Structure 1
């Protein structure tokens, strides 16, 4: 046999040996284990009760309205804070407002609330801690308003925000400001107010 053939046979034998060795690794014992994992997001579910807080007609300068309402968290996550955005439209009955804004004559006064408000308006001892006209509130960003409300300590609760399944209580007074001047231009006018409340989650944490 030639040297070339001998070398060729040697290479084939070596390859066969490697193949047998490699194939032999599958003969070792082995076992498997499986991990099944789930990730479920929680929910924020903010609601207002009652939905219609104010519904008043035949207003005149000097009239005022006192109302309390609830912000309810029906979700599974705690709400860290609630932002309030104000928007409104004025319906000018006879078109003679001459550029004046009815919203500048309606003043919103926030009442310090120390718990359930069932009897907060039973007498005149409630405390007005912050006030703005509707026009001023509409010009503010929700974040700016939140900072100012926190500074005035409207809420006096042990916990911050609204825990899952919990309720926060707000009390407000809206007054048709009698400025002692001619306000006849607003006779017959109406104003549609929308308050939009946004609940924000707490910061993430190790779980």
Structure 2
């Protein structure tokens, strides 16, 4: 082995030895703390009372029915909107010819009031047109400073009044004799935007 190589090897060995000795004798103070966090999701729990809002038998053009029902937020989160989805089916009288018009076009629905939000008519249209709409059942469109805002806070409820009317259009409506309309309303609760907690 040459002198240069031996000298280089000796310097590297000495440096390694010093590093090991220095590393072994280095001392310092230390401390540690442990933290924990919990993330618990809230719940949306919308209920209606009663779940059968109205049953009208033997109706004729001009007849109507007014009913009150309640939407309740039994969850732990505030509900920002309650979207109403409408679906119905018409059952023709057995043996009668098929209708040339949709019975739902002749049934007018009026959300007369949301007693907890306002006193005016909230919404008024036919069941046929309501199918293509998605109104907010707990919205307060005409909010005054002293009135409740839209939405449904956790643990609260809204009382709604609704009117259904078989509209008399002063025309021949004989095709609807014996028919029945089965209505299904689905109220969809939606949360509000996220917020700092």
Classify the TM-score, shorter chain. Answer: 0.7 to 0.9
Shift of residue 203, structure 1, vs aligned partner = 1.7
Rounded Cα–Cα distance in structure 2 between residues aligned with 1:128 and 1:201: 25
Shift of residue 32, structure 1, vs aligned partner = 1.2
Q: 2:185 aligns with which of 187, 192, 195?
A: 195
Alignment size in residue pairs: 191
Match of 2:131, SS state, is: helix
Shift of residue 115, structure 1, vs aligned partner = 3.8
Aligned partners of 2:114 and 2:122 also within 8 Å: no
Shift of residue 128, structure 1, vs aligned partner = 4.3
TM (normalized to structure 1)? 0.82
- The verdict on how the C-alpha distance between 1:152 and 1:110 changes in structure 2, with shifts beyond 3 A counting, is farther
Q: Choose between structure 1 and 2: higher helix proportion.
A: 1
Aligned partners of 1:77 and 1:164 also within 8 Å: yes
Rounded Cα–Cα distance in structure 2 between residues aligned with 1:150 and 1:162: 11
Rounded Cα–Cα distance in structure 2 between residues aligned with 1:2 and 1:104: 107
Does the alignment pair 1:22 with 2:23? Answer: yes
Does the alignment pair 1:165 with 2:155? Answer: yes
- Name segments (4+ residues, structure 1) moved above 6 Å: none
Alignment match, 1:184 = 174
1:70-89 alignment, distance < 5 Å: 70-89=70-89
Alignment match, 1:32 = 32
Aligned-residue CA RMSD in angstroms?
2.5
Shift of residue 157, structure 1, vs aligned partner = 4.2
Q: Per-residue displacement from partner, 1:10-35 (whole Å, max 9, x unpaired)? A: 3211111112222334x322121111
Aligned partners of 1:114 and 1:157 also within 8 Å: no
> Which runs of 5 or more structure 2 residues have no equivalent in the other structure?
none
Match of 1:163, SS state, is: coil
Shift of residue 41, structure 1, vs aligned partner = 1.2
Rounded Cα–Cα distance in structure 1 between residues aligned with 2:154 and 2:114: 20
- The verdict on how the C-alpha distance between 1:111 and 1:152 changes in structure 2, with shifts beyond 3 A counting, is farther
Aligned partners of 1:97 and 1:186 also within 8 Å: no
> Which runs of 5 or more structure 1 residues have no equivalent in the other structure?
117-125
Aligned partners of 2:140 and 2:150 also within 8 Å: no
1:44-123 alignment, distance < 5 Å: 44-93=44-93, 94-115=95-116
Aligned partners of 1:91 and 1:191 also within 8 Å: yes
- The verdict on how the C-alpha distance between 1:6 and 1:151 changes in structure 2, with shifts beyond 3 A counting, is closer
